[in-house]
Amino acid sequence: MKIIMLGAPGAGKGTQAQMIADKYGIPHVSTGDIFRENVKNGTELGMEAKKYMDQGALVPDELTVRILLDRVAQDDCKNGYVLDGFPRTIPQAEVLDKAIKELGDKIDYAIDVEVPDENIIRRMSGRRACLSCGSTFHIEHVPPKKEGICDRCGKELILRDDDKEETVKNRLDVYHKQTQPLIDYYTGQNILKTVDGTADMMDVFTAITEILGE
Ligand code: AP5
Ligand code: MG
Ligand code: ZN
């Protein structure tokens, strides 16, 4: 099963993608997580990506596409994957379509997690992220069992550099201009499904599993 998660920054793509990955036994592939891991490790890719991420801008398509295609070519992606944060522009979607078509395959669903902008700003300041395994928590809505520690892997949780209010506003702008057109793109392919992302996290997940099946 090949799934794309769409939605504004902070809509809950990562939260839901991780649950999908666990339930269906497919890898959770997040370009944002890959970039953050590279920033943390001080790689050349990380240094390049950070310039854009800190502004709330998109990392150039050329670089992002290369990273993503390398990742999904790995063995663990053979039986499918859930993409979180990719594609984010029409050119990215077109490259992905072409690559998948060449393998004689297709995307099964593009799931749009819908959350209005007003809710997003409030969510972001409470978010805590694990840079080691990509898990996400929220100090009020999804608290970790032990404060500041990841439930999943035991590493330290951090507030992301790009979760400052001004940067979040930029990310929302970029989302509306560059990423929202993908909703029409996948509607045109008849694979778009929309879920209400303002609902409780588990209710959002139930709505998604109703789409994906058992
Ligand atoms: P990325 O890491 O993808 O960030 P994003 O799209 O801005 O999305 P977020 O990770 O902020 O939010 P999310 O939807 O995953 O929400 P989450 O589950 O954490 O990208 C970061 C940057 O990398 C980009 O700005 C760009 O620079 C670069 N980049 C990445 N991919 C790229 C690409 N393809 N092309 C170019 N550049 C790229 O949830 C948010 C919070 O809400 C959490 O605290 C969570 O616990 C909580 N929450 C989740 N669900 C609920 C719920 N139902 N109710 C209440 N709280 C909830
Ligand atoms: Mg995320
Ligand atoms: Zn972790």
User: What per-residue confidence (pLDDT) applies to 89?
Assistant: 98
Q: Which residues surround ligand 3, an ion (CB under 5 A)?
A: 130, 132-133, 135, 150, 152-153, 155
Q: Which of 26, 158, 42, 31 is nearest to 88 (CA)?
A: 31
For 35-72, the pLDDT digits (tens) are 999 999 999 999 999 999 999 999 999 999 999 999 99
| Mutation to probe ligand 1, out of 4, 52, 141 (largest number of atoms < 8 A from CB) | 141
Query: What average pLDDT does the structure give for the chain?
Result: 96
SS3 14: helix
- Residue 49 near residue 67, CB atoms below 8 Å: no
What does each C-alpha distance from 163 to 10, 53, 109 come to in angstroms? Answer: 9, 10, 28
For 132-154, the pLDDT digits (tens) are 999 999 999 999 999 999 999 99
User: The whole model's pTM is what?
Assistant: 0.94
Q: What distance in angstroms lies between residue 31's CA and the mean position of ligand 2's atoms?
A: 9
